[in-house]
Amino acid sequence: DAGVTQSPTHLIKTRGQQVTLRCSPKSGHDTVSWYQQALGQGPQFIFQYYEEEERQRGNFPDRFSGHQFPNYSSELNVNALLLGDSALYLCASSSAQGLAYNEQFFGPGTRLTVL
Amino acid sequence: AQKVTQAQTEISVVEKEDVTLDCVYETRDTTYYLFWYKQPPSGELVFLIRRNSFDEQNEISGRYSWNFQKSTSSFNFTITASQVVDSAVYFCALNTGANSKLTFGKGITLSVRP
């Protein structure tokens, strides 16, 4: 049973560019959440997708957008990259069914460096 | 708003010592869930334990145990007989409902020396 997968593993971009990160949820999961983890900090919630719609959003600017596909996979897009966007981007999947306090399973992350 | 505070930033112990990681949380919700995650150098967050606000019973699972006290809003995590492989960053996290966002603390870097 494959866990959460993310691609690419590492990415280097320059300021002003755009980037797309991808996530495939754990089998049986239908909800995908994205987090940004700056160096030395805890993960910060960006947004969550369910049924192909953004359901919740954290305090991130509109430069951060996302999408969820019918197969539940998801993309995170960041436009007009800033140096401060350099971070580890984590994807987490969970199920809308079952236990109320469902566990979020995390992927290995994508390390984004903006030069 | 929710907040998680991990006052300890770095802890270093010698193998086989017991170590307790502290976590204090804030929320106005009466129903909430607390988690501990481990992040090894590889970067992937690994789920360790979960507790809901209705259950203050403290448990032991293998070398892990936790102490949940609503009166002090604390959710401390103990590793018994630490091992080198326990070296990682440990995060305490909070959410307030099904599929709601996780609010994380800043993490505690644990180093276990042989």
DSSP states of chain B: --EEE----EEEEETT--EEE--EEE-S-SS-EEEEEEE-TT---EEEEEEETT-----EETTEEEEEEGGGTEEEEEESS--GGG-EEEEEEEE-STTPPPEE---EEEEEE-
The answer to whether residues A80 and A21 touch, using CB atoms and an 8 Å cutoff, is: no
Count of residues in chain A: 115
Identity of the residue in A33, A43, A55 whose CB atom sits nearest the CB atom of B104: A43
DSSP-assigned beta bridge partners for residue A82: none
pLDDT in tens, chain A (115 residues): 679 999 999 999 999 999 999 999 999 899 999 999 999 999 999 999 988 999 889 999 999 999 999 999 999 999 999 999 999 999 999 887 655 456 788 999 999 999 9
A-B Cβ pairs (cutoff 8 Å, strict): 65
Residue A80 Cα, gap to closest chain B Cα (Å): 26
pLDDT band at B84 (very low <50, low <70, confident <90, very high): very high
Q: CA of B51: which chain A residue's CA is closest?
A: A101
* Residue the block writes with tokens 């800043």: B106
B27 interfacial to chain A (CB closer than 8 Å): no
| Interatomic CA distance for residues B75 and B92, integer angstroms | 8
Question: Is residue A42 exposed (0-12), middle (13-18) or buried (19+ Cβ within 10 Å)?
Answer: buried
Average pLDDT, chain B: 91
Which residues, in sequence order, are CB contacts of B92 under 8 Å at separation 6+?
A: B4, B6, B21, B23, B25, B34, B35, B36, B75, B77, B104, B105
Of A44, A55, A101, the CB nearest to B50: A101
Give the pLDDT confidence score for residue B42 in this predicted structure: 86
Distance (Å, whole) CA A62 – CA B63:
44
Contact B99 A96 (CB under 8 A): yes
- Asked if A32 and A93 touch (Cβ cutoff 8 Å), the reply is yes
Q: What is the pLDDT of residues B7-63, one digit of tens each?
A: 999 999 999 999 999 999 999 988 888 999 999 988 889 989 888 888 777 777 789
CA–CA separation, A26 and B12 (whole Å): 34
Give the residue ranges of DSSP H helices in chain A.
none
